[in-house]
Chains A and B, each alone.
Chain A
Amino acid sequence: MFDTALTTADFIFLAKGAGMTIVVTAISVLIGTVLGVIFGVLRYQLGPIWAAPLIFVLDICRSIPLLIQLVLTNAFLGTILRLNLSGFTVACIVLSMYTAAYCAEIVRGGIEAVPATTRRAARSLGMTWGQDMREIVLPLATRIALPSWIGLALGVMKDSALVYVVQVTELLKSTQILITRLQEPMLLLLICGAFYFVISFPLARFGGYLEKRWSND
């Protein structure tokens, strides 16, 4: 089984694909998290009625297959607005919004989990809203939200396998290209799957560990 036609050049090619997966994921998670925190706080502060447009948009990002979001955004930005964006940019835009949509929910959940009494106590000690958010809500909510956020980041990495539709050659696409040439589907797919697993598994475990540890006190 390990008698293979895979050359060093092919491994470099795969590594490039893996690099692309990581870069797309890192950018999208970074931007998505910043946006997600802003949206999440807005969502919490404004309440369900004033935040309705925001809720609606974020809800759409969670209710439509990512493939369709990518194809549509690509067609909209490129065909209709005629912006000359690379597939990489489109992939990052869509994945960032996708991340933000889920992250906003996590952030809101985290803020809501901070007991109202604690926050009232903080405000009655003379803290401003900003101080309350920074000194009280942020540390407490982070504890609740971080394990879910790790899960989200890993989810985005796995979902980034779909950006092939906007001509970004990430890991799974590179694997398919090599399968086309070498016709060793099983071996190549296992290498590809192992790569995702090796990154995702330890981080997922770490998230589970944090959740367990922080929920005890």
Chain B
Amino acid sequence: MFNYTFQWKQAFARLPQMLDGAAVTMQIAILSMVLGILLAITLTMFRLSGSRILSAIARTWVEVARNTPALFQIYMMHFGLGSFGLHLSPFLSILLGITFNNAGYLAENFRGALKAIPETQTRAARSLGFGAAGAFGYVVLPQMLRIAFLPMTNQMVWAILMTSLGVTVGMNADLYGVVQDLNALTFRTFELFALAAVIFYLITKIITIGARLIAARLFRY
């Protein structure tokens, strides 16, 4: 039954390369989160704007992002746009693909969070002399981000996991890409992927624990 000899040394010898890959994975995930949050706030404001065109754009974005596979969205970003002559590098394709997905999910979370903030607060802010933008930016937005903090952490974890889809658009610098290349070189599938799994697990743990610490600090009151 156990007709298999592990060669862990081969996998561990490649650990430095894999850690470099993990750094790229982190970079993609963090950038895609930052961009995703900014876009999601924009989409949320589109929905609140009262303009039918803007809110239709926001709704379409959210529904497409939430109702099609992430792999499909990333593939589209590269080969779909590519057939219109718009060429994104693998890095940009995966980054924008995940950003598109993040923005859609986060915008929906933000919408839910907004419902929890009483309308009266905006009115109070306005009567204190805030403009519409000021009331949103200083009063509503901070509370919205606080309520949506847990879903944002989850989305961050998903962003990390989604970077593994970059290989479909020619990405090989991220952790999954590095491991796949090494696998092609050595064919040591189990050892290499097991090590990658451990690294992914540690990254996501660091993020969730880090987020909890940040939350404890930011939301003390």
Contact = CB atoms under 8 A, between A and B. Distances in A.
A68 B199 CA distance: 11
Interface residues of A, number: 33
Interface of B: 1-4, 63-64, 66-72, 75-76, 79-80, 82-84, 157, 160-165, 176, 189-190, 193-194, 196-197, 200-201, 204-205
A67 B189 contact: no
Contacts, number: 102
A158 B165 CA distance: 13
A72 B200 contact: no
Given A63-B204, A67-B165, A82-B3, A185 B72 contact: no
Given A76-B190, A82-B1, A158-B70, A68 B200 contact: yes
Given A172-B71, A189-B75, A65 B1 contact: no
A197 interface: yes
Interface of A: 60, 62-69, 71-72, 75-76, 79-82, 154, 158-159, 161-162, 172, 185-186, 189, 192-193, 196-197, 200-201, 204
B208 to A, nearest CB: 8
Contacts of A80: 2, 4, 190
A159 B76 CA distance: 16
Contacts of A197: 63-64, 67-68
Contacts of B200: 63-65, 68
A75 B196 CA distance: 14
A174 B164 CA distance: 21
- 10 smallest A-B Cβ distances: which pairs? A65-B164, A200-B67, A161-B69, A63-B204, A75-B190, A158-B69, A65-B161, A75-B189, A196-B68, A161-B71
Contacts of B165: 67, 162
Contacts of A185: 79-80, 82-83
Nearest to B189: A75
A55 B196 CA distance: 21
Nearest to A208: B108
A82 B2 CA distance: 7
Nearest to A192: B72
Contacts of B189: 71, 75, 79
A162 B168 CA distance: 11
B156 to A, nearest CB: 12
B204 A159 contact: no
A162 B72 CA distance: 10
B217 to A, nearest CB: 23
A204 B63 CA distance: 9
Contact of A68 (B70, B162, B193): B193
Contacts of A75: 189-190, 193
Contacts of B71: 161-162, 172
